[in-house]
Amino acid sequence: AKAAGRDTHRFYAEAMNAEAVAHLSTRSGLRRALERGEFLIHYQPQVSLETGAVTGAEALLRWNHPEKGMVPPGAFIPIAEDSGLIVPIGAWVLAEACRQAARWRDQGLSLSVAVNLSALQLQRSDLVPTVTRALADSGLDPLLLELELTESMLIQNTDLVMENLRRLKAMGVQMSIDDFGTGYSNLSYIGRLAVDKLKIDRSFVADLTRSHDSAKITAAVIQMAHSLNLTAVAEGVEDAGTLEALRVLRCDVAQGYYLGRPGPAEAVERAARQVNPF
């Protein structure tokens, strides 16, 4: 019976493809990473197109793996979502990002921090308590915390999701729609959810100076944002020409490699202390 058990085990092990095995190791790796403090956050500056000042930063998760080095989120967030580990990992990101923004405030810098939420977090009843705790523990003003949601996360607008968004909004937390223009085309949620910002997807922004269509879409999103009293943010700004085009279109805020790559908090601090990075 023992041998049969081993054979069965071997059969399943061999039947699993390499990808599944890699997933398994990453899943236990992720749990260990959280326990051992292997996660860190890189921050990418967001710059006002009107004043040139750094107004905030997006928190982007990194895994400093003991053997593989710095692992980008695309390589492990899907696994963290499948295994549910995104919930404790996401809670850590929220707490750490709020602590960082509070440190900036203590240094005399008024910078907001934008945190990416996963669909799973938005669908849970512990989201509001988690955000409340991150704000209370850090002492951060809720107005300086921004949560980035994607359009696809709002398709499942269950009562719990709506209630979470309503309560976060009532606390003063800012809401931003990430990758805007790539998802769901029913825009009715924008008014209903009291969204504050639209982040124009980088696929439009990257083509802005080369494609008439991308330029028209970007212009239309900026106009729509303004007519709804929302802030328009462009992500993926990689060159001076794109930055200038966005200024002409009266976009409010820009983010991208040209203005600053994601990096340690100190890089954002240095940029924020410069009077005018343009």
List of residues contacting Ca ion (CB under 5 A): 116, 148, 178-179
Among 38, 141, 207, 238, binds ligand C2E (CB under 6 A): 238
CB of 206 to Ca ion, least distance (A): 12
Out of 29, 45, 181, 256, the residue judged to bind ligand C2E by CB under 6 A: 256
Any contact of residue 72 with ligand C2E (CB under 6 A)? yes
Residue 56 binding ligand C2E, by CB under 6 A? no
Interaction between residue 277 and ligand C2E (CB under 6 A): no
- Closer to Ca ion by Cβ: residue 132 or 203: 203
If DSSP states are collapsed to H, E and C, what string results for 128-154?
HHHHHHHHHHHCCCHHHEEEEEEHHHH
Q: How far apart are CA 220 and CA 176, in angstroms?
A: 18
User: Which of positions 136-155 make contact with ligand C2E (CB under 6 A)?
Assistant: none
Three-state secondary structure of 163-202: HHHHHHHHHCCEEEEEEECCCCCCCCHHHHCCCCEEEECH
Q: How far is the CB of 26 from ligand C2E (least distance, A)?
A: 15
CA distance 224 to 161: 25
Q: Does 262 bind ligand C2E (CB under 6 A)?
A: yes
Quote the tokens at residue 244.
Answer: 């200038």
Number of chain residues interacting with ligand C2E (CB under 6 A) = 21
The alpha carbon of residue 254 and the mean position of all alpha carbons in its chain are separated, in whole angstroms, by 15
Residue with tokens 């209370």: 136
- Binding residues (CB under 6 A) for ligand C2E: these are 44, 60-61, 72-74, 77, 86, 90, 93, 116, 118, 178-179, 202, 236-238, 256-257, 262
